[in-house]
């Protein structure tokens, strides 16, 4: 479908596993703004088995709220004219489990890891990573390939011109497994080959007969560089042509949209990248859902995405309990409760995932779980977002006592400028201050870090929109998507509780505040109603606020509901070992920030 020359009215949908969300954007007085949002249950599953039903229902809700006529029967009116219709329609999708991939490479920490990065960056869930050195016997790898029914496989391995026998062997194992796709029994599984260019003929000979093979440029042409773009693009193309085409109703939906449907996380990742590139900042984005938690980051220009497939707030809430441990969840509760009771409550949330907390106690428990889910997902991300491994490094004598083996994490919390949270527990927290503190506790930012949430989970819509109209996407992102929660100031250094660690000054046009911070506190400087605050942090000797030990940092930041959060509880965050003392500390902190107004 061709794009109109002038775009004034935009309709965007995100078809999630349970809900389809539609937004209407209009250009008014020269600026693109969100007009309304509508939602309806997703209809991919029986009894409807047609995704367009849910899309039409969500769009009808948009019509009702906006008063604009968008549908003509079951058709989206486009282009806009005479006060009806839209100029463009774009969509993302994660319905039916999203895009599920298997990746394979030769060396686990090199080409297999690069392939994993390419798949994750494209918005996929990586079900399995195979490598020649993954410790499994060939028949075990074949069994694994057969058990899984991915939507597609990405095969990589070897640098261009290097040895090809290992990657060819991996192709032989894939052929022997004769893998079947998850959706649609009548077509061959798409396999993308993005490995050693010299092995292409052999790969074609082995895989063409049994799979839908496509070949793109090597994603690791030399050890020193990754070239993930072509593989990522091919994943998006195949997602549309093969995977989505098999899902019920998507054939029609694809014909309606002006640009290809993107996997939801792929679109969110794109938006995070666009925001980081525009301002030249390091950004961390997180989307915590019912089943999974996605983490996106741009550090020093390098984009990474991880998906923690079983860390979520409902379907997989019990898995958070298993992975974090009961004591780690209980450490965020300002009251005591028995282990059995806490476990039962989480089990009951798992089996009744759509229920919501009605009491303050239940809300606090859910937010405690969220802190741990976010912490674990971030830990996984930190371990994955690393420098390329296997790259030769030139060393000098001065490196003798500081030898790095490569693979150093790119995540640098001290340089992180902005954290964007989304997902029900953050975006719909009864108070924005609760969302801010959940992120502070989970990510433990250092120095000065701005916090924000995606107000109504619009980033997928804006991400896919940015592929056709980046300016419109960024305007709506700035004006209607982000809700600023204020900065967190966390000077880093060591000392005993009560040691003075920084002087924090916040200034607006109307007033000025000064806070003398001592180690072991959680405090907030209420900075009035101003949108922006001029912040000056003077760290004590031995403490770093972002510019080095004892060096003053001055920055203009966005204000938030709590004003400026000052967190001097230490990095890593220190909590009392004794349960009663910990409860008392939490009660004190929560009261000081008026976090749970009715909890006392």
Partner 1 sequence: MAHAYTSGLRVSARTVVARTRRLPLSGKVLVEVGDRVRPDTVVAETFLPGPVHNVNVANALAIAPEEVPGCMLKQRDEPVAKGELIAESKGIFGLFKSSVRCPESGIIEMVSEVTGQVLIREPSTPVRINAYLDGTVTETLPEEGVVVETAGACIQGIFGVGGETHALIRQIVQSPDDEVTGEMIDDRLRGRIVCCGSIITLDALRKLIEVGASGVVVGGMRYHDIGDLLGYQIGVAVTGGEDIGLTMIVTEGFGRLPMAERTFDLLRSMQDREASLSGATQIRAGVIRPEIIIRSDGGEAAADQVSAAGRGLETGSLIRLIREPWFGELATVASLPEEPVRLPTGAFARVLEARRTNGALVTVPRANVEIVET
Residues 123-142 that bind partner 1 (CB under 8 A): 138-139, 142
Return d(Cα 156, Cα 332) in angstroms, integer.
43
Figure out which of the listed residues 353, 390, 500, 526 binds partner 1, where binding follows CB under 8 A: 353
Figure out which of the listed residues 4, 41, 251, 526 binds partner 1, where binding follows CB under 8 A: 41
Phi-psi region of 287 (alpha: psi -120 to 50; beta: other; left: phi over 0): beta
Figure out which of the listed residues 2, 5, 30, 352 binds partner 1, where binding follows CB under 8 A: 352
Q: Which residues contact 497 (CB under 8 A, 6 or more apart)?
A: 518, 519, 520
Which of 484, 430, 434 lies closest to 454, judged by CA? Answer: 484
Name the minimum Å distance from CB 233 to partner 1: 28
Check: CB of residue 441 under 8 Å from CB of residue 585: no
Considering beta carbons, is residue 302 or 309 the nearer one to partner 1?
309
Name the minimum Å distance from CB 138 to partner 1: 4
Figure out which of the listed residues 159, 284, 291, 474 binds partner 1, where binding follows CB under 8 A: 291
Count Cβ neighbours within 10 Å for each residue of 413-452 and write b for 16 or more, e otherwise: bbebbbbbbbbbbbbebeebbbbbbbbbbbbbbbbbbbbb
Judged by CB under 8 A, the chain residues 445 through 474 that form the site for partner 1 are none
DSSP 20-40: EEEEEEEEETTEEEEEEEEEE
Considering beta carbons, is residue 345 or 389 the nearer one to partner 1?
345
Per CB under 8 A, 395 contacts partner 1: no
Figure out which of the listed residues 69, 336, 344, 581 binds partner 1, where binding follows CB under 8 A: 344
Per CB under 8 A, 362 contacts partner 1: yes
Considering beta carbons, is residue 348 or 383 the nearer one to partner 1?
348
Query: Distance from CA of residue 502 to its chain's centroid?
Result: 32
- Residue written as tokens 């050890």? 223
- Take residue 440 and report the two structure tokens written for it: 């502070």
Figure out which of the listed residues 1, 3, 222, 356 binds partner 1, where binding follows CB under 8 A: 356
Figure out which of the listed residues 72, 74, 133, 165 binds partner 1, where binding follows CB under 8 A: 165
Name the minimum Å distance from CB 93 to partner 1: 13
Judged by CB under 8 A, the chain residues 189 through 218 that form the site for partner 1 are 202, 206
Site string for partner 1, 303-342 (x = CB under 8 A): -------x----xx-xxxxxx---------------xxx-
Per CB under 8 A, 345 contacts partner 1: yes
Considering beta carbons, is residue 347 or 528 the nearer one to partner 1?
347
Figure out which of the listed residues 22, 44, 101, 474 binds partner 1, where binding follows CB under 8 A: 44
Return d(Cα 54, Cα 91) in angstroms, integer.
13
Judged by CB under 8 A, the chain residues 75 through 114 that form the site for partner 1 are 95-97
Figure out which of the listed residues 27, 33, 36, 45 binds partner 1, where binding follows CB under 8 A: 45
Figure out which of the listed residues 4, 8, 19, 259 binds partner 1, where binding follows CB under 8 A: 19
Per CB under 8 A, 497 contacts partner 1: no
Considering beta carbons, is residue 185 or 398 the nearer one to partner 1?
185
CB atoms within 10 A of CB 165: 13
Figure out which of the listed residues 69, 74, 178, 277 binds partner 1, where binding follows CB under 8 A: 178
Alpha helices in 385-431 (DSSP H): 424-427
Per CB under 8 A, 431 contacts partner 1: yes
Q: How many residues bind partner 1 (CB under 8 A)?
A: 71
| DSSP state for residue 480 in the 8-state scheme | I
Cross-strand pairs, 517: 502
What DSSP element (H or E) covers 88? Answer: strand 88-93
Check: CB of residue 117 under 8 Å from CB of residue 71: no
Phi-psi region of 447 (alpha: psi -120 to 50; beta: other; left: phi over 0): left
What DSSP element (H or E) covers 15? Answer: strand 9-15
Figure out which of the listed residues 169, 198, 241, 521 binds partner 1, where binding follows CB under 8 A: 169
CB atoms within 10 A of CB 600: 9
Considering beta carbons, is residue 9 or 40 the nearer one to partner 1?
40
Judged by CB under 8 A, the chain residues 46 through 65 that form the site for partner 1 are 46, 57
């Amino acid at each position: 479908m061709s794009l109109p020359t002038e775009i004034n009215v935009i309709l965007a949908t995100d078809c999630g596993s349970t809900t389809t969300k539609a937004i209407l954007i209009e250009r008014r007085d020269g600026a693109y703004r969100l007009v309304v949002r509508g939602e309806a249950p997703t209809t991919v599953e029986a009894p409807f088995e047609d995704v367009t039903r849910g899309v039409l229902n969500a769009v009808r809700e948009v019509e009702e709220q906006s008063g604009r006529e968008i549908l003509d029967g079951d058709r989206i009116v486009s282009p806009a004219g005479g006060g009806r219709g839209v100029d463009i329609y774009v969509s993302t999708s994660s319905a039916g489990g999203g895009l599920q991939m298997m990746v394979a490479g030769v060396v686990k920490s090199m080409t297999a890891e690069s392939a994993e990065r390419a798949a994750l960056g494209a918005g996929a869930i990586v079900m399995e990573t195979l490598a020649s050195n993954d410790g499994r016997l060939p028949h075990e790898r074949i069994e694994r390939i057969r058990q899984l029914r991915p939507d597609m496989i990405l095969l990589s391995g070897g640098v261009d011109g290097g040895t090809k026998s290992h990657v060819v062997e991996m192709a032989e194992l894939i052929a022997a497994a004769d893998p079947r796709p998850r959706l649609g029994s009548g077509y061959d599984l798409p396999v993308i080959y993005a490995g050693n260019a010299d092995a292409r003929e052999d790969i074609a000979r082995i895989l063409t007969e049994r799979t839908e093979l496509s070949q793109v440029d090597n994603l690791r042409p030399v050890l020193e560089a990754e070239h993930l773009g072509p593989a990522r693009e091919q994943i998006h193309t195949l997602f549309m042509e093969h995977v989505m085409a098999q899902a019920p109703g998507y054939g029609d939906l694809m014909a309606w949209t002006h640009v290809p449907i993107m996997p939801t996380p792929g679109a969110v990742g794109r938006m995070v990248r666009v925001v980081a590139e525009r301002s030249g900042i390091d950004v961390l984005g997180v989307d915590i859902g019912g089943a999974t938690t996605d983490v996106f980051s741009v550090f020093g220009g390098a984009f990474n995405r991880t998906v923690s497939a079983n860390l979520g707030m409902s379907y997989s809430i019990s898995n958070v309990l298993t992975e974090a441990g009961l004591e780690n969840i209980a450490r965020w509760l300002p009251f005591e409760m028995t282990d059995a009771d806490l476990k039962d409550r989480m089990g009951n949330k798992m089996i009744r995932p759509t229920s919501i907390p009605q009491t303050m106690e239940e809300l606090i428990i859910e937010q405690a779980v969220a802190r741990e889910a976010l912490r674990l997902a971030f830990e996984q991300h930190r371990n994955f977002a690393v420098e390329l491994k296997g790259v030769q490094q030139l060393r000098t004598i001065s490196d003798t006592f500081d030898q790095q083996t490569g693979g150093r994490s790119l995540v640098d919390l001290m340089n992180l400028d902005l954290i964007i949270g989304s997902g029900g527990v953050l975006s719909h927290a009864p108070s924005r201050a609760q969302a801010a503190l959940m992120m502070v506790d989970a990510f433990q930012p250092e120095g000065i870090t701005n916090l924000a949430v995606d107000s109504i989970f619009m980033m997928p819509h804006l991400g896919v929109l940015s592929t056709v109209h980046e300016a419109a996407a960024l305007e709506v992102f700035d004006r209607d998507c982000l809700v600023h929660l204020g900065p967190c100031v966390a000077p880093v250094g060591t000392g005993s509780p009560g040691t003075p660690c920084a002087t924090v000054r916040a200034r607006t046009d109307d007033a000025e505040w000064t806070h003398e911070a001592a180690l072991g506190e959680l405090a907030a400087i209420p900075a009035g109603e101003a949108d922006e605050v001029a912040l000056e942090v003077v760290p004590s000797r031995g403490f770093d606020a972002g510019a080095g030990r004892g060096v003053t940092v001055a920055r203009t930041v966005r204000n938030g509901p709590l004003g400026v959060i000052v967190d001097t509880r230490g990095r890593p965050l220190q909590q009392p070992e004794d349960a009663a003392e910990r409860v008392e500390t939490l009660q004190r902190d929560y009261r000081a920030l008026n976090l749970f107004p009715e909890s006392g």
